[in-house]
Structures are given as structure tokens and as C-alpha cells.
Amino acid sequence: MSQPIPDLLATVPLFAGLDKKQRERLARDFNERSIPAGTVIVRQGDEHGMGFFIVVDGQAAANVDGRDVAQLGPGSYFGEIALISDRVRTATVTAVTDVTVLVMMLTDFRAFVRGDAEVAWKLLEHVGTLLHHQG
């Protein structure tokens, strides 16, 4: 992997407000997975999306209601809503080529947030900013 995980996390808006030490702690909960081309990584409508993914290598495609909506390559991420809210998956993501991803499970993320009130507050501020821009 060319970029250290804490630096990669700084490029994800949800984690950008965390300081380097917090991102280093968070990085410990990510696992690397290799996914073969053609594999559905997440499926639209699945309940209880359990993971957040960052593409490290390869290409994937995001599809909503049968329409391609995004090509995902190194540095792209998906599933951040699943870390905060227990909602159904909003898109299907399929590996176009062999893909390497970093994945964090919901249970690990929740334990990380519960263990640090400052982290929880920073994430709450980020969500508040998102809501403000939607309204």
C-alpha cells in the first residue's frame, strides 16, 4: 500500500476532522481484503450494512436502481452511512477488476467512537455540517 492508512483516512470527509493520533487509532481497526473481479461487494437494499470500505487498488462500479452512478478507484470510499446509521445499502458496488479494499466493521467503529468523547463530538459536528448543507 503506497499511502499509510491514517493519511488515507484524512482524505475521507467523515474522518478529516480527526487529528493524526485519532486517525492512527482508527486505522488499527481496518482490515485489508482482496476481492475478485465480478464480485458484488455490497448490494443495494441489503439491511444492516456492516462495513465501510476504502479502495486501495483496482476498480469498482457503483450502481443505483440499475444505473451506473460512479466508478471507484484507489482512494474512493463507500459505506460511510453504514457507520453512523443502521440503514439499508443505497447502492450496489461491484468489483470491475480485482480490488483491494480496507474495510472497517460497524462494531469496531462504534467501539472506537464510544471510547473517545472528543472523536464522537467531531463526528457529530461533521454530520451537522452535512445536514446544514442539505437543508
Domain boundaries defined on the chain: 5-134
pLDDT at 100: 96
pLDDT digits (tens, 9 = 90+) for 97-116: 999 999 998 889 889 989 98
Stretch 63-73: mean pLDDT? 95
What average pLDDT does range 51-72 have in this prediction? 95
Residues 15, 47: Cα–Cα separation, whole Å:
24
The pLDDT tens digits of the residues spanning 69-85 come to 999 999 999 988 777 77
CA distance 102 to 85: 20
What's the pLDDT tens digit per position in 34-43?
999 999 999 9
Q: Is the pLDDT of residue 49 over 70?
A: no
Q: What is the pLDDT of residue 59?
A: 98
Question: Which pLDDT belongs to residue 38?
Answer: 98
**Measured CA distances, 72 to 48, 61, 112, 114 (Å):** 22, 6, 26, 30
Looking at the structure, give the CATH architecture of the domain made up of residues 5-134: Sandwich (2.60)
